[in-house]
Every structure is written in C-alpha cells, then in structure tokens.
Structure 1
Amino acid sequence: MNRDALAEFLRRRREVISPADVGLSPGPRRRSTGLRREDVAHLTGMSVDYYGRLEQARSTQPSPQIVRALARALRLTDDETDHLYRLAGHAVPDRLGRSLHVGPALLFVLDQLRDAAAFICSDTEIVLAQNDMARALMGEIPIGRTGLQASMCWRWFTDPRSRAAIPPDEHAQHSRSRVADLRAAWARRPHDPDMHELVDGLLERSPEFGELWTRHEVAVRRGQRKTFLTQVGPIVLDCEVLAATDGQQLVVLAPPAGTSSRDQLRLLAVVGPQSRDGHHDRATATNHENSVE
C-alpha cells in the first residue's frame, strides 16, 4: 500500500468533482468548487474521520469494498479504478463477465431521478448504487460488498427479515419472478464463480428456491407493480427494470399516475429511511463504517 500516493490521488480526484456531478446541492457556504471530505464520506457510507485519515496518509489499509465504494463516489474511470486498487495494495479485480463498476453516465442518470426510487444492481441482485429516494424506501444498503450476503436474492430466500417491507400476499409472486429472472441470468453465464455460488448456495439453503428452480421458468424481469410497507403506510409503485451494460440493471420504482404514491414518497424522504427489515432506521453512515473497520 502506498499511503502517500493514495492520499494525494484521493485529494486530487475529490477536488475536480463538482457537487452537481454526484447529485449534491452546491449550498451557500461552500468555499471550493469540488467535493468536501464529508461529501465523499456520505457517498461511500464511511465515517468522515476514516476518510480524513485516508487523505492524510494515516489510515489502515482500506478493504476492497471501501476501494470500490470510493471509485464509484469519485466517478473514476476503469483505468483510474485499477490505479486506486494498486495504490491501496490490492489486486485489480478481473472484469471478465459481470462488472461491479458503474459507469459515470449511468450514475448521472440515477442522480437525476428525484421523484422516483431507483438503484443499480448486478444480475445477481447486488446493489451497486442507490439514489436518495431508494434509501428512504429500502434503507441504506451497504454498497460495495461481495459474496452471498450482498445479494438481495440470497437474503430474500434465506433471511425472513428481508421480506418485512413486502405484503405477505405478494411474497409468492416476488419469489417466482426472482427465480425466473435468475434462471435467465444463469443461462448467460452458468460457469462464472459468483453465479455458481449463488445458485448452488440457494439450492442447499432454501427449499422454496429449490422447488421454484426445478420448474425451469425463465422470465427476465422488466416491469411489475409492487407494494412497499413503510412508516407512512403502504406505497404502490411501478417497477421498471432497464438493462444496462455488463449485466447491470437500472431499477426504477415510480409512482403510478393519478395515485398518492408520489406524495407518500416525498413524505417518506422527510420522515427518514426504512431499515432493510422494513422498520424505521436511524443508523448513521458513521456507525456502518465503524463496523466495517
């Protein structure tokens, strides 16, 4: 790990990214045109103190998950991301098959969706980025994690708490559509380690998944109406799944025309985010980053 070079690189990249580039308001008290340290900490979900130590060349080695989150927050290109991994003392991830790097253009589109909840995920349902409305609706999902626990599909079939925000009478439909979509993704790359691990792990852990998998239903998810149970009441949203590059998906949860869902989403954004088990969540990004360290 090259602490000095890493610190200098992070400072320089932060200084050339404007708040508007990442969907932040400039604010009347900003003295510089670039991002502040606290902005980067917020975008990555780490504490301001830890990020400050990175820029001061005083930190411990950042994990690959933190490096990945920094690359997204700073809108780094593939070459810059590879450079960041090397400075942090990590091997550059293999980009063959699925990519967990979200391009700047797709992140820009995500940031423009103000009145809809939206997120970007991989074909194994690993969330790669969320907008503010999605955080309010779904809770702050730790970005940059890998492995089985990072997959929303894995959590749906192995952790009952992940279903708390969905009405019980919709669980079966969600399960069926998830498995049919995963079957389509599996057919595209059945021998990739992450896909192999997810499917085999679910077959071992979840009888429900196993029964649905044997049906061999294939249906790429493109659109459906969903209900979310929140602290401001049930919110009905139209879910549209837009395919992007490298197996990534932009998922937009938009209020149906002529309903009160838009006003409910706005109220939810004021009240505060849901936790990922469907309850009100007041946990801070600082607490999350301290647990990572």
Structure 2
Amino acid sequence: MARQELARYLRERRAALSAREIGLPEGAPRRTPGLRREEVAELAHMSVDYYVRLEQARGPRPSPRVLDALAGALRLEPAERSHLFQLAGAAAPPAARPVRHARPQVARLLERLPGTAAIVTDAAYGVVAWNPAARALLGDDLARHTTNLARRRFLGAGRTYETSSTREFGSIAVARLRRAAERYPQDPQLALLLEELHAGSAEFRRIWQTHPVHAPGHRAKTLDHPELGRLRLNCDVLLVPEDDQEVVLITGAPGSRSARVLESLAVAATPVARETT
C-alpha cells in the first residue's frame, strides 16, 4: 500500500470538490478550498477520526468497501476510482452502480452544437444532461431530472411521440438495459426500474425474452411533433466509455425544414446545457 501517495491523493481530491457540486450548503466562506474532512467522512459513512488518519498516512489498509465509499463521496470518475484502489493496494471491483451525472466537459460540449438537439444518457437510459434545443424538442420534463427514455418508451412516462423508429427503439432500449443489468447487478435503482418495466409493459417482457443485441450508431427517423409538425431527423450516438454513457446528437439534413426548426429552437432557448447531479 502506497500510504503517503494515498493520503496525498485523498487530500487533493477533497480540495478539488466544492460543497455546491455535491448539494451541500456552502455557508460561510471557507478558509481552504474544497470539502471539509468531516463532510467527506459523513458522505462516506465513516468516522471522522478514521478518515483523518487516512489523510495523514496513519490509517490501516482500507477495505474495498471503504474505498468504494470514498470514491462515491469524492465523486471520482472510473479511472480515478481505479487509481484510488491501486494506491491502496487493492483490486478495483466493478462499479456498483451506473454513473448518473455527466462530466462537466461533456455537458459543456452540448452548448457548442448549433442547430443540434443533444442529450446524454446513462447506462440505464436516464437523461443526465441536455441542451435547450433538446428540452424544447423532447419536452420540459427533462428539467425534472427524472426522465428515463426506457420508461418513456414502454410506460408512456413523460412526453411521447410517434416516430418511424418507435418499434426499433424498443429493442435498442432493452438491449442496453440487459447490458446494464449484467454490469450493475447490485444497483437498487436499476433493479427498481427493471421491476417497473416488467410489471407495466407486456411488450417489454416480450422483447426482454428475445435477448436483443444492438450497437450504437446512426439512425434516421421521422418524428411527429405536436407543435412542430413532422420532422425528419438524424440521430447519431457518441460513446463516453469511461462512464458507460452515450451522447445522442439529433440533427436535420442541411438546408431542410427540420434543420431550420432545430436551429430556431436553439436560438429561442437559453443557451445553457443542463445536467443532473
């Protein structure tokens, strides 16, 4: 175990994380940047004394369970989590749950896509970031931070549309959810979603039994929008493999009416990408 390096890494990651980023009140100005040791200990469900000893290179070798709790408390990305385990001399087990927030640099990317509606989805098809054009196109329920495209597709939760690829997306969604179930078998939120879909949709149950396989890529679809009319759209998917997420880019053919509609949505909306935390 690289005790000194582990202590330094914990201090650095704590200093890089603000109270606002994890939903804590900032309160009075802080003498030093980042979270307090007490806040990290509380987030990781461990004693303050134990965490302080780790930061001072005086603590015992932390168990994988403790390391996983620290990775969650410090909002470590998958590569950072693996590095934490390496410093502690332990093998990093698979992540217990999907990453349910978009990296800031990915969320900012959505702001710089003129004429494009863009969203980021996690491994279970939860929408974790979007730009204003996507919200205008796909519905204001995005702003509630609870939109899940699989739930919307099979249970009619949120704003739904008739598209030329509705049936195809059913198989795509089930294939991705099956992969997620294999990767995150202990995630209670995913288990609850799958239970809800199995209970509420005979179509979902039928497709689940077929074990569909799908590779992300390009899809063209026609969308019948209640206010904007019929739109012919291109959907391209970019992968964020470190977080098991997908960036979905929705565009119209250059010069087409659909492209002009998307451009007008982007101009009319506030140019700030949103993300969940």
Task: Report if TM-score (shorter chain) is over 0.5.
Answer: yes
Q: What's the C-alpha RMSD, in Å, of the aligned pairs? A: 3.6
Moved more, 152-161 or 215-224: 152-161
Residue 203 of structure 1 aligns to a residue whose secondary structure is: helix
Residue matched to 2:243: 246
Equivalent residues in 2 for 1:137-156 (5 A)? 137-143=137-143, 145=145, 150-156=147-153
Alpha carbons of structure 1 residues 170 and 250: separation in structure 2 relative to 1, 3 Å: closer
| Structure 1 CA distance for aligned equivalents of residues 108 and 158 of structure 2 | 32
Partner Cα separation in structure 1 for residue 266 and residue 173 of structure 2: 27
AA partner of residue 135 (structure 1) = R
Pair 177,188 (structure 1): closer, same or farther in 2 beyond 3 Å: same
Q: How do 1:8-27 residues align onto structure 2 when only pairs under 5 Å count?
A: none
Q: 1:150 to 1:133 in 2, by over 3 A?
A: closer
- 1:187 maps to amino acid: E
TM-score, length-scaled by structure 2: 0.59
Residues 1-293 of structure 1 correspond to what in structure 2 (within 5 A)?
86=39, 93=72, 96=95, 97-143=97-143, 145=145, 150-159=147-156, 162-163=159-160, 165-167=161-163, 170-230=165-225, 231-244=227-240, 245-257=242-254, 259-269=256-266
SS of corresponding position for 2:140: coil
Q: What amino acid maps onto 2:177 in structure 1? A: L
Can you list the C-alpha shifts for 1:146-175, whole angstroms capped at 9, x where unaligned?
A: xxx642212321126643x223x5432221
Q: Where do 5+ consecutive residues of structure 1 fail to align?
A: 1-8, 14-53, 58-78, 274-293
Instruction: Note the alpha carbon deviations across 1:87-130, whole angstroms, 9 max, x for none.
Output: 9x867856644222322221221111121000112111111111
Q: Find the aligned partners of 2:220 and 2:267 in 1 and give their Cα distance.
A: 24
The letter for the 2-side match of 1:188 is: R
Partners of 1:195 and 1:209 lie apart in 2 by: 15
Paired residues, number: 198
Alpha carbons 1:180, 1:220 under 8 Å: kept = no
Q: Aligned residue for 2:92?
A: none
Q: Is the 8 A contact 2:114 2:266 kept in 1?
A: no
Give CA deviations for 1:221-276 in whole Å, capped at 9, x if unaligned.
32211222232221111111111131121111122245332112133456779xxx
Instruction: State the alpha-carbon separation in 2 of the partners of residues 260 and 150 from structure 1.
Output: 28
Post-superposition Cα deviations, 1:181-223, rounded to whole Å, max 9, x if no partner, equal: 3223333333432332222321122111000000011113322
The separation in 1 between residues aligned to 2:257 and 2:234, in whole angstroms, is 13
Identity of aligned residues (%): 28
Q: TM-score, normalised by structure 1?
A: 0.56
Cα distance in structure 1, aligned partners of 2:27 and 2:158: 40
Q: What letter matches 1:151 in structure 2?
A: N
Structure-1 residue corresponding to 2:55: none
SS of 1:261's equivalent? helix
Change (3 A) 1:272 1:180: same
Give the match's secondary structure for 1:197. helix
Contact 1:184 1:218 in 2 (8 A): no
Q: Which has the larger radius of gyration?
A: 2
Post-superposition offset of 1:137: 0.8
Structure-2 change in CA distance of 1:86 and 1:102 (3 Å): farther
